[in-house]
Structure 1
Amino acid sequence: MPLVHVHGIDNRTPQDPEHVAVRDALYRQHVLAALGCDQGKTRVWSPWWGGLVAEPAWDWASLDLAGMERLGGAEDASAADAAVLDVAAQAGAAEPDRVLIAAAATSLQWAIDIVCGSLVGTEDELREGATFCGRATAYWAEHSDTGMRGDGPAVFPWLAEVTDDTELLERLSTELETWRPTEKTNIRTCAAGWETFGVASGVPRAARSVLRRLNSSAARAVTRGGAALLRGRPTRRLALLLGDVMGYFAQRDTAENSSIIALMSEAFDEAVGHAQQHGEPLVVVAHSMGGNIVHDLLSHFRPDLHVDLLVTAGTQIGLFEELKLFRASDRLLTGAGGQKVPALPNVSRWLNVVDPADPLAFAAAGVFAGAEDLNFGTGAWWAHGGYVTSPYFHHRLALRAAEGER
């Protein structure tokens, strides 16, 4: 079964192969398994469009404030607030071997997501680590009713017995070895993925390696603080966000078939051919700016392409349509009288995932007919970049995908 993943901003090449390996393993283990894919025929396409956007002509000189003369006045008014957050961050960093314990005190799934997002190792080790995290997520979901019955030590009393992060992972591994999913949990979404990738007894090596990476920056994530949020200086990532968005639209509007659209068309054509060859559905997952590009592709440039399941996460499609930024946008069509943009005839199902903590995620169902908005709440300040390496995201997505197959 083919799946096309379309990335968002700040991706020039596969700069983080570990992130990609974990992401693709989670796709295979969850949503593709839920749709009944043949694991031996599964393939994930990742067209890297970011490298086709112009690079900065002065090597980011616009970000350099060194030597700049002060206009005058007091120091940045946010400095005091930033100091408060620094204290909170240091409180989490004071015990670096208890970062996961601190997270699990609020939510065991939070700790699992931190592990999965930090996995390191070979491709096989990463797959094994992702499988471990996926099974742990199903264990958490069953025991807590996906958090509805509570979380942390109140639901998992053994959390109060562990004294450091190594012990936490060891105990979680023991719990998983003795746990057997119920019929409700053991749908094909999870079981097929676990059987395919397998998990040896004990904590996978890739998960153990996480403990060496959890430093003060990870502790800041656990405390949900981080003074950088209040220090409003533009960063290279923010600059790339602006540059990639404007660069895509400038390129798209100067040529009917831009190099980005051409790259996307090629990847989609290959994926469609693979789907037809094996008689399987085509799944497309688009993150952030990738969702806007995919909408342009399917609504204007390549309406001949058919997608069985489109998943958009942390995207701005609803906002961009309200602003009439797409090539297919009709400026005469507004929300007056309850009107919506007609559903794309070449997309069988569209799930739009929004984390309320993600400032770059927008709803789509109020604008587009056929769009299903799904709330995926994490409350995390890193929400925008955390969708595709979160096993909980993949677990919930697989359940929704399976519902569409019934």
Structure 2
Amino acid sequence: MKGQDRSWVMVPMPVVFVHGVGNHGEEQQAGQAAKLRRQFFAEFLLPAIGADPGHGVVLMPWWGRAPALPRWGRVCRPGASEALGSGDRVSLVKELAAAEPPPTGRTDDVVLDTARESVADAVDLLYSAVDVDACTDEDLRQLATLAVPLASYCERHRRFDPTDPFWEDVADDPSLIRAFTATGRTPGPQVETLGGGGPPGRVGKLLRRTADELRKALVGPPVRLTAGGLRRLTDIPVHDYLADVFKYLAERGTPEQPGEIVGIVLDDLRKATADAPADEPLVVVAHSMGGNIVYDIASHFCPKLTIDMLVTVGSQVGLFAEFSAFQGVPGDLPVPGGRRKVPARENIRTWINIVDRGDILGYSAKPVFEGVEDYDYESGALWAHSAYFKQPNFHRRLARRVRGATA
């Protein structure tokens, strides 16, 4: 398959996604956010490696089912007695995301004003603000399907262009979303139809409601980005990160007797290589702590496992290596006047590391490791660590990188 034209060769092959911290509840592994992520992989990444989106396999080992349980129930957190439900968190994220007015200074059409500077930012703003937990499975399917032509349009058109016929009837957020979903538009040589020309259905209503909620956040009571507000937003994710790191390092085991978390991920990696044809690439996408687990497996627990393409996203592999947390990394590096980086691993054939500089839990890898390329991605999200896989333009760029590396 390698070297062939992947535009027509379609086979069932797996992609393995290894999640990050905080995925302790079954609703997080099988809930709407996970379903949308799987839909995005089907629409963008599977075709990039020549897999049939309808039959390609996305394996998602759930290592979070072995959680680190807080012995005192998180009471060490300031204000731990204050409950913050999922709905409250969605509202808080939207308020904080809208706290800085768009570049034009207007507040009545948040999405359109963002599109005047960057169409891609407008699309990603909409998708990042959607409350996926309130979506049906059909909503998620329509969102993922629409994301492909939207991301393609963003690649060709950077910003609002009044001379482009596509924007002819666009005057506010609702009309922009109608254009995005191609409501009542007829394809032609001068007009691009993104949503297929059919009725907008629930996805159009969903995106209009999301835009309206963003607008209300801007025109409502002033939002102050106080330390307390940011603490409320980041408290649980940072706490979960530290908890999962402590548990993993304490219980990861040995190559002869790997711990529970290593075993869960390794089982799916082995299953992926067993199910795929011998000449097909194994593509592993790992978010956050998932990247550390995968590198630990490849360098220490199972160095015979070959990963054709490793993509670490918002991960801390460089940080872990700096503090000697990997047993597969030589302990005498860097050598003064000699080797400065960790040698590239032969069993990781291609490795790219993606990080948003606004992600407080994301780190570069290239300054520490040989054989890896760092790529910046600007999500524009306040809490960037969880924004990557919600944004269509991230998936478009990821698919393009993977396609080039596995062709």
TM-score, normalising length: structure 2: 0.78
Residue 62 of structure 1 deviates from its aligned partner by 1.9
Does 2:6 align with 1:8?
Answer: no
Match of 2:53 in 1: 39
Match of 1:141 in 2: 155
Measure the CA separation in 2 of the matches of 1:380 and 1:271.
Answer: 33
Match of 1:365 in 2: 366
Match of 2:404 in 1: 403
Residue 97 of structure 1 deviates from its aligned partner by 7.2
Question: What is the number of residues matched between the two proteins?
Answer: 365
Aligned mate of 2:99, from 70, 84, 89: 89
* Greater fraction of residues in helix: 1
Letter in 2 for 1:363: S
Residue 6 of structure 1 deviates from its aligned partner by 0.8
The secondary structure found in structure 2 opposite 1:227 is coil
Measure the CA separation in 1 of the matches of 2:188 and 2:24.
Answer: 42
- The residue correspondences of 1:12-161 to structure 2 (distance < 5 A) are 12-16=24-28, 17-63=31-77, 65=79, 89=99, 98-117=109-128, 118=130, 119=132, 121-144=135-158, 151-152=159-160
Change in Cα spacing, 1:388 to 1:226, as seen in structure 2 (3 Å) is farther
Change in Cα spacing, 1:204 to 1:268, as seen in structure 2 (3 Å) is farther
Residue 228 of structure 1 deviates from its aligned partner by 5.3
Measure the CA separation in 2 of the matches of 1:173 and 1:29.
Answer: 17
Measure the CA separation in 1 of the matches of 2:357 and 2:245.
Answer: 22
CA contact (8 A) 1:354 1:376 kept: yes
Residue 327 of structure 1 deviates from its aligned partner by 1.8
Measure the CA separation in 2 of the matches of 1:31 and 1:218.
Answer: 33
Letter in 1 for 2:328: A
Structure 1: which 5+ residue stretches go unaligned? 68-84, 145-150, 182-193
CA contact (8 A) 1:287 1:312 kept: yes
The secondary structure found in structure 2 opposite 1:308 is strand
Residue 64 of structure 1 deviates from its aligned partner by 5.1
Aligned mate of 2:179, from 171, 175, 181: 171
Match of 1:330 in 2: 330
Deviation larger for 15-24 or 239-248: 15-24
CA contact (8 A) 1:13 1:48 kept: no
CA contact (8 A) 1:261 1:297 kept: yes
Residue 231 of structure 1 deviates from its aligned partner by 4.4
Match of 1:349 in 2: 350
Match of 2:296 in 1: 296
* RMSD of aligned alpha carbons: 3.6
Between the aligned residues of both structures, percent identity stands at 33
Change in Cα spacing, 1:177 to 1:133, as seen in structure 2 (3 Å) is farther
Letter in 2 for 1:281: P
The secondary structure found in structure 1 opposite 2:374 is strand
The secondary structure found in structure 2 opposite 1:58 is coil
Match of 1:147 in 2: none
The secondary structure found in structure 2 opposite 1:348 is strand
Measure the CA separation in 2 of the matches of 1:316 and 1:221.
Answer: 34
CA contact (8 A) 2:333 2:339 kept: no
Residue 401 of structure 1 deviates from its aligned partner by 1.6
Match of 1:75 in 2: none
User: Structure 1, residues 247-302: CA drift from partner, whole Å, max 9, x if none?
Assistant: 2112225994111011111111111112137x532111001111111111111111
Q: Which has the higher contact order (CA 8 A, sep 6+)?
A: 1
Match of 2:240 in 1: 240
Deviation larger for 364-373 or 167-176: 167-176
